[in-house]
Chain A
Amino acid sequence: MKIRNFIAVLIFPLMFSLSLAEAHMPGAKPPPDFKLKPIILNDGGRKIKITMEDIGRYHNERTERVRRKLLKNEGKSVQEISEIIKREFAQADGKCPCVCCAFRVMLLAVQKLWSEGVAERSDIKIISHLPGQGSMQCFEYITGSGLGIPNVQSKGEFSLIFPPKDKREKAMGDIDIDDWSFAVIHKSTGKKFEVQIKDDVFPKGFFALRKKVNVEKTATEDEIDRYGIMWEEVRDTFLTKADWEIFEGEKEPFPIGGVIFFSLLSIGVICFICVPKVRRNKKSFKKP
């Protein structure tokens, strides 16, 4: 019990402030155009659509609120706080890699576990191994278990489980690819969908640089800039790439369009070669 209290008192506030640094990236370019379907839920008999924008906004609001509290604790004045918030959140839209990843996980999970593509909110159970505020808040929003979510009629379950490593180290933000794994459970049937993010999603050296920038705080200006570019790349991958490019075990669909085009092209080339020959042969046959 004492250990639990220790984790709750010491580690979670640390984790909170660390993941806050990742929640938004001041100076990051806006994301590219993307087409992601909304997550459709049945919330106590009412159909609701949750879009990437909704989650982004929610995450942004909560991150801003926490940042305000932290600045207040640091003894900053109201004016100073509003200036810092204005500067730091100037272009923030809440679409950080964690949020985008969690949204994609849920989109795929709903498609896999609920045949009609509409999930009963109270029937959802999510287990995440990623200790990032973005993904946690996204899952909280979807299950309706977070703070300040509008019009929640029913609630699902969400738990964050650290992988069996040093919990304290994990909470301090030392995450790697193994932590980007999630499980979604259809509670009434017991069906479980487990998913792991592919290695290729993250540029080489992403986690080492992340640790240097966000945890150890020893990164140079150049490394911070490089991390910012990598951060944008990961976010854009989650927003724009296909499921098979993001998740382990998802198969790339066979390129039917490519087969049709190649067949037509082959027929065209054969006709181009054969038709003049046939015509020539016909003409020579007609000659006496």
Chain B
Amino acid sequence: MDRKLAQIYFGILGVVSLVFGVVNILTTISGKSLLLGILEIPADMFRGGWGGLVILSAGLFYLSGAKRLSEIHHFSKVVMASILLWLIATCDIFAMVCESIPGGEEGPFFNTLHGFFAAYAPPYKPAIFLLPFSLVVIYYIYKRRSE
């Protein structure tokens, strides 16, 4: 039952990642970033194009691995997909942290409290949305080790 649930979970996560990856690549090709409420899909070459390719790969890994999760080779694909998402999400978070500390081109050396929190305000990129859901894989890593 637990394995079945994990398969469905990572399957859905795979589909969502795949969609985000494709949209990321499409926005990069069109050159117009997309803003949907608190979700922002960038269109620049690095974060949009390259990042989109990584998220797309993560989606493919999830879908491929979710089929037979009990097998170590397939489970490693799911872990790999999560690591890919963590890479992109940490890049995005690191960019936010770097942006939040200095006061800007014409501002003071350090940012104001308002400016500091504004750097963490929405919209967020797709990898940040996927990050908490990808962390579930840690539970399965520990579970597998204890088994």
Contact = CB atoms under 8 A, between A and B. Distances in A.
Interface of A: 252, 254-255, 257-259, 261-262, 265
A254 B114 contact: yes
A255 B38 contact: no
A195 B109 CA distance: 31
Contacts of B124: 261
B114 A259 contact: no
For the complex of A and B, the 8 pairs showing the least CB-CB separation, nearest first, are: A258-B121, A258-B117, A258-B120, A255-B121, A255-B118, A261-B120, A262-B120, A257-B121
Contact of B114 (A252, A261, A262): A252
At the interface, is chain B mostly helix, strand, loop or mixed?
A: mixed
Most buried by A among B93, B116, B118, B119: B118
Most buried by A among B38, B114, B116, B121: B121
B107 interface: no
A252 B93 CA distance: 23
Contacts of B120: 255, 257-259, 261-262, 265
Contacts of A265: 93, 120
Interface string B110-136: 000010111111101000000000000
Nearest to A275: B138
Contacts of A254: 114, 117
Contacts of B119: 258
15 contacts: A252-B114, A254-B114, A255-B114, A255-B117, A255-B120, A257-B38, A258-B117, A258-B118, A258-B119, A258-B120, A258-B121, A261-B120, A262-B117, A265-B93, A265-B120
A259 B113 CA distance: 10
Range, interface on chain B: 10 to 19
A258 B113 CA distance: 11
Interface in B45-88: none
B114 A257 contact: no
Interface in B14-71: 38
Contacts of B122: 257, 261
Contacts of B38: 257
Contacts of A257: 38, 120-122
B136 to A, nearest CB: 14
A262 B128 CA distance: 13
A261 B96 CA distance: 11
Contacts of A262: 117, 120
B120 to A, nearest CB: 4
Contacts of B116: 258
Interface in B80-107: 93
Contacts of B121: 255, 257-258, 261
B117 A259 contact: yes
Nearest to A32: B32
Contacts of B93: 265
Nearest to A33: B35
A247 to B, nearest CB: 18
A254 B117 CA distance: 8
A160 B116 CA distance: 42
A89 B117 CA distance: 45
A255 B100 CA distance: 13
A265 B96 CA distance: 11
A257 B122 CA distance: 6
A261 B116 CA distance: 12
B86 to A, nearest CB: 11
